[in-house]
Amino acid sequence: MMASTTNNRIWYIIGIGLVLAGWQLMSMRYSIVIIPSPVETLRAIIQIVINGELTENLKITFSRQLMGLILGLTVGTVTGVFAGIFKKVELIIEPTIIFLLSVPAIILFTIAMVWFGMGTKMAVFIVSLLVFPVMHTNTATGIHSIDTELKQMADVYRMPAFKKMTKICIPGMRGHLITGFSLGMASSVRLTIMAEMLGAEDGMGQRIFISRAYLETENLFAWVVILLIILILLEFFTIRPLKKWARVD
């Protein structure tokens, strides 16, 4: 097992090395305006950290992301539970879910900008709106996946509702809840960045937009690398541990 883990890490390192090598070769072929080198990008990252831009914009972006994520997860979980229990509720909500999952996100962004203008309200609205159907679908599926015989047995023995929820329902649907949370978490970061790029006066997305507009490509690459690092940290320290916990328990 240890040998397998070590081999996997080696291949990961090789993959990262190949990406960096390809990046360096392309930067030698084109000017810094097109592709800055890894070293130039690293310098830009250090400058962003030193001048306080990183801390300031991280706070703004993640406050929006967390508000939208919490709202979307909460509404999606509540509606998903009712849809899983009551078939009529599921049929009533289903057209909305299909609409939100089918319509291109850029259309919803445009509508949100008309309704809320530029800034936090628009970003929070769009994040919660697009996280909601993912959490709703996974929650409803989780309710459907609970063993029917267990629910019938609980009814026969007149198990209290709270105990039925904690002993049967939540354990039975935990995997689906974790999946919905994981997908919502990952997508909410990307959605917040996109919302800020299209309609905000601050935040990481706005800094990416400004860097592109002024052809500050090294800063553009720096913000993209920072975003990738954040997503990787979320994957390894939040999403993967939760998925492992759901499988083990």
User: What residue spans define the domains of the chain?
Assistant: 52-248
Alpha helices in 146-169 (DSSP H): 148-156, 161-164
Span 52-248 CATH architecture:
Orthogonal Bundle (1.10)
pLDDT for 119 equals 84
What gap in Å lies between CA 134 and CA 142, rounded to an integer?
A: 12
Tell me the pTM. 0.85
**Contact between 180 and 171 (Cβ < 8 Å):** no
- At residue 2, the pLDDT reads 52
**pLDDT, tens digit, 9 for 90 and up, residues 112-157:** 999 988 888 999 999 999 999 999 999 999 888 877 777 677 777 6
Q: What pLDDT score was predicted for residue 248?
A: 46
- Residues with Cβ < 8 Å from 137, sequence gap 6 or more? 80, 97, 180
- Closest listed residue to residue 208, CA positions, set 49, 217, 55: 217
b/e burial code for range 171-185 (CB count within 10 A of at least 16 → b): ebbbbbbbbbbbbbb
- pLDDT score recorded for residue 225: 92
> Which residue positions in the chain have pLDDT lower than 50?
1, 248-249
Report pLDDT for 220.
92
What confidence score (pLDDT) does residue 118 get? 84
